[in-house]
Structure formats: structure tokens, C-alpha cells
Amino acid sequence: MKRKIFIGFAILTTLLIAGGLYITRSIDDVIWKLETIITLHQVEILRKNLLTDVKAVQQDLLLKDSPHATTVDTFVKHGEKMRQEVEGCFDCHHDDPADSQLVALHEEIHLYQEALSRVYTTRANAARVYGEKQIAFHIGQQIIQEIDDIIELSSETLSDKTEIAKNSIAKTKQLMTVLVIAGPAFGLVIALFFIRDFTSSVEALLDTTRKLKTGDLEHKIEGLEDEFGELGESINEMARSLMEMFRTLEENQKRYRMLFESAGDAIFMLEAEGENVGRIVSANRAAAVMHGYSVEELAGMRIQDLETPESAAGRAERIDRILRGEWIDAEVSHRKKDGSVFPVEISAGMLEFEDQKYILAFDKDITERKQTEEALQRTEQLVVVGEMAAGLAHEIKNPLAGIKLSIEILSAELNLARDDAELFERIVAEINRIETLLKNLLSYAKPPVPQFTPIDVNRIIEAAIKAAKYSLKGPGEEGPSRPPKAIEFVKDLNDIPLIVADAAQLQQVILNLLLNAVHAVHDRGTIRLATSAKVDGWIQIVVSDNGKGIIESGLEKIFLPFFTTKPKGTGLGLSICKRLIEQQNGTIEAARNPEGGLTFTIHLPIEQASEVSA
């Protein structure tokens, strides 16, 4: 564009200079012609003056010797003026023919002057004077004729030159008019050309910037040249760079959004300043699930709405520490939408974004960890109690055996009445019950070390079912007068691989579960047993009944020691089962059935990665 403008103005300047030079030359030529015309007019005036002077001398000559004759001085003065006029003609520039005419005219005037001189100086007879006068008059008339011819010829020449000058002036005037009109018009055309080119290029650039502003980064500038073309290419390159940056930013945003949404812990972004301190700006799905709200509901709440009054008491101090630049860790209590309270471990710090301070908080539900810690603490306490109970059981076991033996000997040797014999029998039964309790205490406090061997779980289940069926033939816990229960054992034993486990302990666990199920069922019921192999290297054993079941609060305590729903139970059976399964690196869980009863699910590894000892 700059080169085009330079070339355009160079052409315009050249044309204006050429036109100016031509006008100057034309004006100079017109001026020269006018000067020539003026000179010719002056010459013509001189010639007319000369003609007048010659005629005056001729008149003086004709009036000589008449009453009207001029004086000699006047005559001499007219003759001198005539001589000066003819000599003045030589002061002008003439061409060669004109110079020849002037020389001839000058010679004739000189002859005329001589003739006049003879007329005024001759004093002879009158005839001679008359003759000289006629000669002088004749020369004067001839000079007048020649001057008339010269004047007529110069008048024609002057007329021609004047016409030529007029034509030159008219042409110059027309040229100046054309230049005055065409120059600005040409300049305007050039300006319009550049303005059109400039404005079209600027409009293309503005249109591109508007489209870039709306986010259309794929729009490109095409067809521009020169500096605008370079600028357009720079804008295209900038758009490409912005598009790459936008794509990178969008990918990063998607990545971070995916991390934000898929994070297992709750993530909150809170306002840290102003009147809305603690307002939830953003929360992920884990936060919504953890608190029982939707993401949209959390966005209109404050973190204060999720805290318990006890936790809210230290909120101001925590926010103050965060604003001082600390990254804090704390344990607080949060409240779910249903009102339930659960422990939360928070890790929070300050985040600055667009000159605004926010609090970035990571919340983790530590309910399971707390429960594990409490269970571990209870286990440690139970271990201590178990060890004490084991020691006490050893101390009680021997004296108790002596007491039992003594009662049995007395009962056999003495002749007792019926009431006394029943009393002795009840004493022995209670001693047997105490022995069973001591045995269970010893088993729980120090269970035997599992002996891992490859076993067939289905065969162990079959053996446990036979033992459970055999127990149905004898009197139940309700007494010998109660008829046996009608219980159906339904088996769904799939083909599963051999597992590495302790056969005796596993059979003890399954038999204990079956006996509990038998006790839970009323007069008639069903006990289901199922086995299946899992794809992740585990097998599953399910024992289910349709008995009386247990309340929800009791389900949470079912594996705790000394918790029982049986009138004469010790509360150690399921605790021992759980401990034996855990020793074999497995898990056992209990759940209520919708139709009534309980379902116990056992998971055991097929291979033992590590062996657990007591």
C-alpha cells in the first residue's frame, strides 16, 4: 500500500510538474508574442510618426514661398525629427528583409534631406529652385509611399501575430482550465482509488476482528495485498495461535473438570472475602453424594449450612489462618440433608483467581476410618479382656471340674429324693454351661492358628448340613417337650475350585451359621446355601434363612462379643466366626432379607497371599 501511494503521488506530482512546466512555457511564449506585438505596435507608431514627420516636411516644402510658409527653424526642426525617427527604427530587432528596407529608406531620407537642403540653399534662378523643389517633393512622395507600404505590411504582420498570440493565450487558458479541473479531479480519482483500497482492506480487518471477538477463530483474511496482506496474515496467525491455545485450554479445562468431577473426595470452592464468606461457588459430584444434596442445591448454599454447631465454632479461626496463607488440616463434623452427622477430614487453602480470593477445600468422609479405629480400639480392649478372661478361665476351670465331679459322685452315691436329684442335675447343667462359656472365651481370646491346606468348600458345606440336620433330631433349646422343627435345606453349590484354607475352622463357622439359622426359624422354614466363584480370585459362600431375623440396630452389633438374642446364648459364636474368617484373609457380612431372616455372605481368597497367625 505504501509503495502504491508513493507511485500514485509520484505520478500525480510528475503530471502536475509537467503541466506546470508546459503552462510556464506557454505563458512565456505568449508573453514573448505579446512583447513582439507590443514592439510591432511601437514600430508601427514610430513609422506612423515618421510618416507624419515626412508629410510635415512635405507640407513645409509645398508652403515654401507662400504666405503660409514655415520658418526655417521649424523646417529644420521637422527635418531633424524625421532623421531621428528613421534612425530610431534601427534600435529595434528586424529580420534581414526589414533591415534592407530600413537601410533603403534611410538612404532615401538622406537623399530627401539633401534635396531639401538644396531647395533651401539654392539662390539661382527660380526655375532651378522649382526643379529642385519638384525633385525633393517627388522623393518625399516616394518615401511616403514606401512608408505606407511598410506600415501596411507591418499591419498585416501585426494582425497575424496578434491572432497567433490570441490563439496561444486561448490554448494556454484552455490548458490551465483543464489542469485546474483535471488536476484535482485526477488527484481525487487517485485518492478515491487509494481510499477504496484502504477502506476495503480496513473493513476486511474490522470484519475479521468482529468475528474473532464472537469466537469464530476459524475465520481467515484472504485477498489483501501489501502491508494489509501482511497484517491480515499476522491476524490469521494470531487466530491460529489463539485457536491452539483455546483448544489446549479447553482440553486442560476438560481434564481438570473430569478430575474435579471424578475425584473420590469432596471438593469445594468457597468465597473467602466479603459478605458471602463461605458461600459455595462450586462443588463436585462426590461432595453432593457425601452430603445427600444435588450439585445444583450445593451451589446455592453456604458451607455453614453443612457444619454442625460444634464445628462452626472454629470456622472463623480456620478461615483467618487460610487467608494468612496457611494450608490447614482439621477434623470437623458435617450434617447430611437427612440430618445425620458424620465426621469429615478437611484439607483447605487459599486460591487466588482473577484478583479474587477463594478457599479450596478437600473433604473426606472418615466414618469408616473412625469405625475402624473404634473397632480396633474395641478389639485391643477385647484382647486385653480376653487374655484376662483366658487367665481367669484357666484358674476357674480346674476348681469347676472338681466341683462338677464331686456333685456327680454325691448324686450317684447318695439316696436322694426326686426334688434333690433334680437340683443336683440342674447344678451339673449350669456347670456344663459355665464350661462351654469358658471354652468359648478361650477360643475367642486365643483361637487356634489356621492350618492352610487345599480344601473342597462344597464337601465341607455338605458335612456341616449333615451335622445341622442331626441336631434337629434331638431336643431343642426350648426343651425336650418341643417337637423337632421342619426345616428344608436348599443347596445351590456351583462348581468352584479348591481353595487354600483351614477346613476345621471353616466347617466350624458354617456349622455355627446353620445352627443359628435353625434357631431363628420357627416350626417350619427354609435355609439356603450357595457357593460361586468370582472372577477376581475369590469364592463366595451364602447362608440365608427366612427366620425371625433381627432389628436394624441389632444388625450393627451382631459380630460384637457378648451380643446375643438367645435367652441362654453367650454372644461369642458370631464373634468367633468373624475372627476365624479374618484369620483366613476373608470377610463375613450380615444383611436382613426383605422377606424376613438374615443372609450371611462369606468371601474367601482362592490362594493365600499371606498367612495370618493368632
Strand partners, 348: 328, 361
Which CATH architecture does the domain made up of 451-605 adopt?
2-Layer Sandwich (3.30)
Cell numbers at 290, concatenated: 457425601
Q: What one-character-per-residue DSSP string does 189-220 give?
A: HHHHHHHHHHHHHHHHHHHHHHHHHTT-TT--
Sequence-distant (≥ 6) Cβ neighbours of residue 176 within 8 angstroms: 23
Residue 346 gets the label, from left (phi > 0), alpha (psi -120 to 50) or beta, of beta
The one-letter code for the residue type at 274 is G
Judge residue 463's burial from the number of C-beta atoms within 10 Å of its C-beta, 0-12 exposed, 13-18 middle, 19 or more buried. Answer: middle
Tell me which CATH code domain 2-172 carries: 1.20.120
Indicate if 367-446 has the same CATH topology as 263-365.
no
pLDDT given at position 498: 93
Cell numbers at 455, concatenated: 480344601
The one-letter code for the residue type at 182 is A
Cell numbers at 144, concatenated: 511616403
Give, as one character, the DSSP assignment of residue 406: H
Q: What is the pTM of this model?
A: 0.38
Contact 565, 550 (CB under 8 A): yes
Largest CA distance in the chain: 240
Judge residue 210's burial from the number of C-beta atoms within 10 Å of its C-beta, 0-12 exposed, 13-18 middle, 19 or more buried. Answer: exposed
Contact 533, 561 (CB under 8 A): no
d(CA 182, CA 190): 12
pLDDT (tens digit per residue) in 512-550:
898 888 888 877 888 999 999 987 889 999 999 988 877
Cell 515626412, residue?
54
Domain assignments of the chain as residue spans, ordered by start = 2-172, 263-365, 367-446, 451-605
What is the bridge-based pairing of β-strands 538-545 and 524-533?
Answer: antiparallel
Rounded mean pLDDT for each run of 10 residues along the chain, 614 residues in total: 65 74 76 72 72 76 71 73 70 63 75 75 70 79 78 72 78 77 75 71 75 72 68 77 78 68 79 83 86 86 86 84 88 89 89 81 85 70 62 66 74 74 76 66 64 92 86 55 74 92 89 87 87 89 88 74 63 79 89 87 86 44
pLDDT given at position 602: 94
3-state secondary structure at position 499: strand
Sequence-distant (≥ 6) Cβ neighbours of residue 348 within 8 angstroms: 318, 322, 327, 328, 359, 360, 361, 362
pLDDT given at position 543: 93
Which CATH architecture does the domain made up of 263-365 adopt?
2-Layer Sandwich (3.30)
d(CA 209, CA 215): 10
| Cα four-point dihedral sign 509, 515, 519, 524 | positive
Of 124, 114, 136, 170, the closest CA to residue 64 belongs to 136
Cell numbers at 259, concatenated: 478430575
d(CA 104, CA 493): 163
The CA-CA-CA angle for residues 198, 204, 206, to 5°, reads 100
pLDDT given at position 436: 65
d(CA 510, CA 577): 8
Tell me which CATH code domain 367-446 carries: 1.10.287.130
Judge residue 287's burial from the number of C-beta atoms within 10 Å of its C-beta, 0-12 exposed, 13-18 middle, 19 or more buried. Answer: buried
d(CA 578, CA 587): 8
pLDDT given at position 614: 40
| Cα four-point dihedral sign 58, 63, 65, 68 | negative
pLDDT (tens digit per residue) in 206-233:
777 777 777 776 777 766 666 667 777 7
The one-letter code for the residue type at 141 is Q
